[in-house]
Chain A
Amino acid sequence: MREQAFRFGRARHLVGIAGLPPTAPGAVGVIVLNAGLVHRIGPFRLHVDMTRRLNELGYPTLRFDQSTIGDSGASGESQTRVQQVCADVDDAMALLHQHAACSRFVLVGLCSGAQNAHTVACGEHSHEKLDGVVFLDGYAYRTFGFRLRHYLPRLFNAKRWWRWLVRKSREVGGGGNEPVFGVAPLPQDVVRVDLKGMLDRGLKLCLVYSGGINMDFNHARQFRECFGSLMNRPAVSTRYIEETDHTYVLVDDRRHLIEHIEAWLQRNFPIAHAGASS
């Protein structure tokens, strides 16, 4: 199987690579969104390895650059960020529909990619095309349990107290006044309602969080602490990988992540006559 390069989208401003294995009708198409500002190949080529492995299993894939990221340009429209993200993903779905006859899709996103996947999935009509979402280090909130796990061991650690005092003294001295630019995360209650809506509409969710976000998330129990009993629903899969970092810099960590995602896909969206097709 060979991948194909496309320039596509409503303003032909998007660039993506589609993996188009010979598939049985009804196969879900997997669309991988940008992780931060890294272009479509993903951190350390994670998205390339992931999509090619999924192609071997028979899943059509598209890794692409969203508007203004990587090799993609701006559409020239006047849109909010939410409108732009949804329109880009719509364009990606249309491309995979055109070339692989996919009518159902799964989104995969890491970090800001998870936020963008969330944006698309919480649309009230998302279930018309979307079957599932893989959130890698998606929304996370410091819970009471997080604070206990985070601060209790530090209370009795003299080195940590010393580092804290040094840091504070620097901040008082003016070292901590650099401007911080970032996108404010959605409130926890809003995300919980969003996730409930996704599940009520029949989407299947796979949440994989890493030790790389341990300043906000530090235990498998925190999925339930953040989002409540929703996390017990059969359509939800959660996994906390404590030892790995946020962008899966080590080769074996990436391999294990890909194996986890492919197992979740095969369990929830099996391909008839799945097998090697490369």
Chain B
Amino acid sequence: MTRFESELPFFFGQDGELFGIYHAAAGAAAKAVLLCAPLGQDHIRCHRLYRQLASALAAAGIPVLRFDYYGCGDSAGASDEVDWDRCLDDIATAAAELRSRSSVDRVSAFGARLGANLALAAAPSAQLTDLVAWDPVMDGSAYVATLDALQDALRRDTHRFIRPRAASAAEGQWLGFAVNPGLRQRIASLRAERLTAPSLLIDSLGEASPDWHEWVPDPARLHRLRPDTPWDELSRIETAILSHPLVQTVVAHLRERAYA
């Protein structure tokens, strides 16, 4: 099997609505890893990094599935149909698909930003044994306010538009994607204390970092990544997010725990 043949794109789930790419690993694996994508523009920005991470994990002997939620990427559904509970169901469906394809029961997950929140929230139903979270959203209402402010700045941005656009042309959207009121409400209600703690928390928020210690008291489970990731900079919303140190950190952590 060539490297390309080991990365298989396919549709799965009920009515084949979900798109995923399975990265097979050579040899018998002790665990598999599910990559949970962030939502909206962060999904597009992280696509390359998720592919690199999946390839690196597979090369380390860990089979991986990365996939798109309903309404995201290549999966069925329109962008304005993205639903928080459906995303959680999709993670459970994807975890089952990964178990079936890899013949491995132990499934860990990695998620960036809202992908981390989704993985943490879906952990019980998807029976995820281990979670790596990269800059999860700890205060949903503040995050919603940030995205609203970015969206308002975007429509006024004369580097992008010749003239500022009317507020009505940009309402109900965050950085290129329509957002339905239900999703907006669920994101606004996110609170750290309601989440399962990850086995590794990767922080690259810099000065904007919250106090992680109440949530993750063990310093060994907190990894500070430099440089900071420009998640919420208007001028860089169409710039890919890449981080070789992140890939190295996650692979090292998950490989170590695969044999623990």
**CA of A244 to CA of B44 in the docked complex: distance in angstroms?**
21
Query: Given known contacts A17-B19, A211-B161, A245-B160, is B238 in contact with A40 (CB within 8 Å)?
Result: no
Considering only CB atoms, which chain A residue lies closest to B79 in the complex? A45
Considering only CB atoms, which chain B residue lies closest to A212 in the complex? B160
Query: Given known contacts A12-B4, A70-B47, is B165 in contact with A45 (CB within 8 Å)?
Result: no
Known: A2-B76, A71-B7, A245-B160. 5 other contacts (CB 8 A): A6-B9, A43-B44, A70-B48, A73-B3, A250-B170
Interface residues of B in 35-65 (CB under 8 A from A): 41, 44, 47-48, 51
Are the CB atoms of A251 and B178 closer together than 8 Å?
A: yes
Residues from chain A with Cβ under 8 Å of B162 in the complex: 211, 214, 242-243
Residues from chain B with Cβ under 8 Å of A253 in the complex: 169
Considering only CB atoms, which chain B residue lies closest to A252 in the complex? B169
The 7 closest A-B pairs by CB, nearest first: A44-B176, A5-B9, A211-B162, A245-B160, A249-B176, A251-B178, A39-B47
Query: Given known contacts A3-B11, A71-B21, A251-B173, is B47 in contact with A12 (CB within 8 Å)?
Result: no
B188 to chain A, nearest CB (A): 21
A130 to chain B, nearest CB (A): 25
Main secondary structure of the interface of A (DSSP, over half): loop
User: A32 within 8 Å of B by Cβ?
Assistant: no
Considering only CB atoms, which chain B residue lies closest to A5 in the complex? B9
User: B175 within 8 Å of A by Cβ?
Assistant: yes
User: B100 within 8 Å of A by Cβ?
Assistant: no
A-B contact pairs, 16 of them (CB 8 A): A5-B19, A7-B9, A15-B9, A41-B74, A44-B44, A70-B47, A70-B48, A71-B21, A214-B162, A242-B162, A243-B162, A246-B160, A249-B160, A250-B165, A250-B169, A250-B176
A71 to chain B, nearest CB (A): 6
A220 to chain B, nearest CB (A): 14
Considering only CB atoms, which chain A residue lies closest to B15 in the complex? A2
Residues from chain B with Cβ under 8 Å of A243 in the complex: 161-163, 165
**CA of A39 to CA of B72 in the docked complex: distance in angstroms?**
13
Residues from chain B with Cβ under 8 Å of A15 in the complex: 9, 21
**CA of A38 to CA of B74 in the docked complex: distance in angstroms?**
13
Are the CB atoms of A71 and B161 closer together than 8 Å?
A: no
User: A13 within 8 Å of B by Cβ?
Assistant: yes
B166 to chain A, nearest CB (A): 10
The one of B10, B169, B176 that contacts A5, using a Cβ cutoff of 8 Å: B10
A238-278 contact mask (Cβ, 8 Å, vs B): 1 or 0: 00001111110111110000000000000000000000000
Count of residues in A whose CB is under 8 Å from the partner chain: 38
Are the CB atoms of B74 and A17 closer together than 8 Å?
A: yes
Interface residues of A in 30-88 (CB under 8 A from B): 37-41, 43-45, 48-49, 70-71, 73
Chain B residues touching A, range: 35 or more
Considering only CB atoms, which chain B residue lies closest to A36 in the complex? B238
**CA of A244 to CA of B161 in the docked complex: distance in angstroms?**
6
Which of A15, A48, A212 counts the most chain B CB atoms within 10 A?
Answer: A48
Residues from chain B with Cβ under 8 Å of A5 in the complex: 9-11, 19, 74
User: B258 within 8 Å of A by Cβ?
Assistant: no
Are the CB atoms of B154 and A249 closer together than 8 Å?
A: yes
Q: Which residue numbers of B lie inside 8 Å of A, CB to CB?
A: 2-5, 7-11, 15-16, 19, 21, 41, 44, 47-48, 51, 72-74, 76, 78-80, 154-155, 160-163, 165, 169-170, 172-173, 175-178, 238, 240
Are the CB atoms of A37 and B10 closer together than 8 Å?
A: no
Considering only CB atoms, which chain B residue lies closest to A44 in the complex? B176
Residues from chain B with Cβ under 8 Å of A2 in the complex: 11, 15-16, 76
The one of B79, B177, B240 that contacts A37, using a Cβ cutoff of 8 Å: B240
Q: Which residue numbers of A lie inside 8 Å of B, CB to CB?
A: 2-7, 11-13, 15, 17, 37-41, 43-45, 48-49, 70-71, 73, 211-212, 214, 242-247, 249-253
The one of B5, B79, B238 that contacts A12, using a Cβ cutoff of 8 Å: B5
**CA of A242 to CA of B161 in the docked complex: distance in angstroms?**
9
Considering only CB atoms, which chain A residue lies closest to B240 in the complex? A37
Are the CB atoms of B10 and A38 closer together than 8 Å?
A: no
A161 to chain B, nearest CB (A): 17
**CA of A4 to CA of B9 in the docked complex: distance in angstroms?**
9
Residues from chain B with Cβ under 8 Å of A249 in the complex: 154, 160, 175-176
Are the CB atoms of B74 and A7 closer together than 8 Å?
A: no
**CA of A49 to CA of B2 in the docked complex: distance in angstroms?**
32
Considering only CB atoms, which chain A residue lies closest to B73 in the complex? A41
Which of B4, B80, B178 counts the most chain A CB atoms within 10 A?
Answer: B4
Considering only CB atoms, which chain A residue lies closest to B9 in the complex? A5
Are the CB atoms of A4 and B176 closer together than 8 Å?
A: no
A149 to chain B, nearest CB (A): 11
**CA of A212 to CA of B161 in the docked complex: distance in angstroms?**
6
Which of B2, B41, B161 counts the most chain A CB atoms within 10 A?
Answer: B161
B233 to chain A, nearest CB (A): 15
